[in-house]
Structure 1
Amino acid sequence: MIELRTPAEIEQMAPAGRFVASVLTATAAAAKVGVNLLTLDRLAHDMIRKAGAESCYIDYHPSFGASPFGKVICTSVNDAVLHGLPHDYALRDGDLLSLDFAASVNGWVSDSALSIVVGTPREEDLALIDTTTRALAAGIAAAQPGNKIGDISAAIAAVGHGDGYTINTDFGGHGVGRTMHGDPHVPNDGRPNRGLPLRPGLVIAIEPWFLHTTDRIVTDADGWTLRSADGSRGAHMEHTVAITEDGPRVLTARH
């Protein structure tokens, strides 16, 4: 079911957005060569506890997950691009790391993701992150009242295809509110002027993710981590965005 939020409810969602942004900022800053993924998860967990927030991940067990997630942040490294389950792995120089985090504050959820390079970057990884960042910005710019979901999808795809990437539509953006994942689905490829009309009060996560040389993914042995089918690296960017009378409002903006 698609729910529209009042302006007052969107204001009530803002603290969750700021908190999610702060956790991503802190974990990204802590992600240095030699730092363990479990250390990043503990940092996020500590911030959740100190803020009196609630994790959206630790007990999360959708149909595509092998078991409850059991951790509080997704850490996807190199050829992993989505749902990376934190494990005993020390980051290495040149790793491409995607962090995806969602939490509930006062009963309202926000969801956001970013990709960074740890240590010495590869030019192709920086280019992939740049494309994904610009695709997110294009999707947000298209999230205007009176437009349709397809306009967001087409804007994301125009950037991705324009830079030579193929696009997977199995996983994409989604509604956000009292829970982490809801309707509508927001694909990362589509046709303009198609799909659900964007009305003020709709709150969605917009999240482009691209892989260097494929659009096919496989599930890791941990039952969660999604990797590229050909071993190429991936990048992932995401913001929670409210559609308002004045245009899109990014609730998870990082400053």
Structure 2
Amino acid sequence: MCSDAYSTAEIEYKWCTSKEPNCSTAVKADANIELSSYKFTKICQKRTLASTSSGTYSRLRVSFIFDRDSGFYFLQIFFPASLVVVLSWISFWINRDSAPSRTLIGTMTVLTETHLMTGTNRRLPPVAYVKAVDVFLGFCYLLVILALIEYACVAYSKKKNEDRRRREKKTEHKPAPPTPDILHDVRLAECTCNAAPTSIIAVIKQSNRFCVSHSHIDIVSRAAFPLVFILFNTLFWLILLYKSKRLPYISEHEGDRCDAPDLH
């Protein structure tokens, strides 16, 4: 509310507060106000002075602050997306030889996350900036993609190990049968206890220091994926609550939400 025809020398506006005895027009919030997607939070009243080339003018401004009701988004977006991410971790406990089962789980979780992302963007208004829900769904989508790539790494590692063992078997040759030695019983002083194994079975049973089993990838993933998801959720919700000034003892005072640039 303002008037550009009369400066402060002629008219000066001010808000009438409920503490004044003759004030009957104070702005008050109705406790019965209910909205489907928002929750009425606060009324901000402010008096400003606009200085122009023709003089200084008094202006009044009132702002209504609404908080988005997060219950719908928890039930329809955040909670289902988290469950899909947890579902993708089941493949880490499935036998590595069950390629159809692990591939099906990875593909279905990726498609489900894609459906959640597209459905959420259709319901929300299009904006030019990145929303908090976009960050959450994008990270969940990245985790299910990585879970599918993890099985590809497991299958590739298993194939490499099998190819290496196959090459080792081909390079090994069976030793020729020893020629009969008549003086074998006579040479008692000859030491043969430290002789290297010559049979194929003995060579295969020897441990290979450079062999890395593909199961190590699944073992690491069983702990790494949940830890990364828990760490992300902790940081995400702390930052989100801090930015929305809903974090107790850390966020700014509630009255600061009424601070906004003056209208000139």
More RCO (CA 8 Å, sep 6+): 1
Give TM-score, length-normalised by structure 2: 0.26
More helix by share: 2
Bigger-Rg structure (1/2): 2
Q: Which has the higher strand share?
A: 1
